[in-house]
Structure 1
């Protein structure tokens, strides 16, 4: 059986200080997942087609307002992140692969509607960032297969390699490590993010 204990932010009134801002700006890890590729531009090289949140920054009060599918998805992501502490960016497909390949389970077996969970996570007022990514990176971000062969409309095909997947993972990590702190500072300075 796979279980989890939700991570918690301190409750109650908190003065904004460098420790809290540092916690929000430099989370232990992010959860990143693919959004639908824009139907209006299916052949675009780049699109705003990924979303990242920082699960460690989701407070107990925020979790209490989430649908159970979203809470469970965050919980199993936390278990994955604890088992893989070297990863700063956890892809939903990483967790899906881990559940299937290492735990002999699936979102369905666990009673989690992952699509409903992602819809909920993007709709709630959580710290999150939309990301513009290449179509090639998108293929990796959404891949849960052990062997992933891409078929192109001109008849060509190719296998996407795990080495390239790791390189894409590392590139997203560098991007979030560079952009997320400025995003948080901007939210705090503008008053759109307050700590209570």
Structure 2
């Protein structure tokens, strides 16, 4: 699994954000249908359709990453050296996370059903449980990704700052300090 260094779980983030927005639009659309506000309902339905199309694309592009995050598997750092057993264990966990084709197909079927019924052919009662399962998958991915990024960023920043405190001279070239003022510089 190849990961980009800047934001390795960008596709997973886009997936769960699309599902979150879809769910908001879907709820607004159903509420507006009850109120009889057709123009606003059309706008919500179009927004829901765009979000579910985006979620579909991100799902297909990121199936291994989505299920790895739901299972709590952290991406490997390319700069960290791992022994063979650690690598083997990590790869086995990744394999186990995607070794569930029935579940992967089920979520894809849900996304396709929503793409074919939303907007205007919506019979939400028929797909309500499936939509809730999809939202739950997105929520699980979101919780893990947020925790992962916060923990990793804070830990890495703390480690780097502790190293900077111990040896600030070695980091001078990375963070140029302003020049020290001369004593006589501010005399009139």
TM-score by length of 2: 0.28
Q: Which has the higher strand share?
A: 1
Q: Which has the higher helix share?
A: 2
TM-score by length of 1: 0.27
Higher relative contact order (CA 8 A, sep 6+): 1
Bigger CA radius of gyration: 2
